[in-house]
Chain A
């Protein structure tokens, strides 16, 4: 119920922020209306970073605590981060065409490293599909999630380290936050959009986490079901000691999802 309220709150705030950025705040003098895309583009990019940082931290959480709930958070962060990265790239393209004169430049460091970020986390999600053992999958995902996170600071600092087409961040350093190179109304529009997108992100993260937990439960239930039917068919035709052997291979029939690792089938 509280998540539902959060969802509606996020929706209302996003609508408000979009109205503010589109109709209330004036357009940039040099770039014209296209600059309005900045608000959704930058907010999406920041939330994409946030998602992937959450994935990396949750990966560490899994490796340390061995609790599959951390892995569910990691999955939620990666999937939602991929969505936000793709949307940030789209917004960037829609902004770049009218202002720069091109949708995309492969050799621009910011653009290339962002494309790499998207590819890395799509790879992360594909890798998760390769294994049907939740614990092994969580470990592999945690390692890949940590390695892929190396690209996050590279993306962020690419505009400072290397020469490219993409401009430097308007609010990239503490100094620039205090003395922004933008009128206060532009800053307000960006911060409002950031708040709105963050609320939407929280809502999506909670929902995706809930889904991930249910998926784990169903996976576990399916495995128990397979084992039980195997046991039943063996019990019908074979002596008791084979039944015991199958039993020994089965995880404890507790409701906990953190059952002992199953021998490879």
Chain B
């Protein structure tokens, strides 16, 4: 019966560890998505400035 403590520690850490990793991964993914959606506004900005600054200089190459 003494062994039960080891069984609990084994299952607890392995399955608990996987659950914690899944949660951390979910949070990292949410943060990255939020950041990506704020960055996604930049391409629109870039398109807007494309005709004025970069394109003429690129054409001049």
A interface list, Cβ under 8 A from B: 7, 14, 18, 22, 32-34, 36-37, 40-41, 44, 83, 86-87, 90-91, 94-95, 97-98, 197, 200, 203-204, 207-208, 210-211, 214-215, 217-218, 221, 224-225, 228, 231-232, 235, 240, 243-244, 247-248, 253, 255
Contacts and interface: CB of A to CB of B under 8 A. Distances in A.
Contacts of B51: none
Given A98-B3, A217-B36, A248-B61, A211 B14 contact: no
Q: Which 10 A-B pairs have the closest CB atoms?
A: A94-B10, A37-B10, A214-B32, A34-B3, A221-B39, A98-B3, A87-B14, A94-B6, A40-B14, A33-B3
Contacts of A36: 7, 11
A235 B53 contact: yes
B48 to A, nearest CB: 13
A207 B15 contact: no
Interface string B1-12: 111101101110
A244 B57 contact: yes
B22 A204 contact: yes
**Which secondary structure dominates where chain A touches chain B?**
helix
B25 to A, nearest CB: 5
Nearest to B35: A218
A10 B59 CA distance: 54
B7 A34 contact: yes
A96 B26 CA distance: 33
Contacts of B4: 33
Interface centre among A33, A44, A90, by most B CB within 10 Å?
Answer: A33
Given A14-B15, A83-B17, A240 B57 contact: yes
A36 B4 CA distance: 10
Contacts of A37: 6-7, 10-11
Contacts of A215: 32
A215 B17 CA distance: 24
Nearest to A36: B7
Interface in B28-58: 28-29, 32-33, 35-36, 39, 42-43, 46, 50, 53-54, 57-58
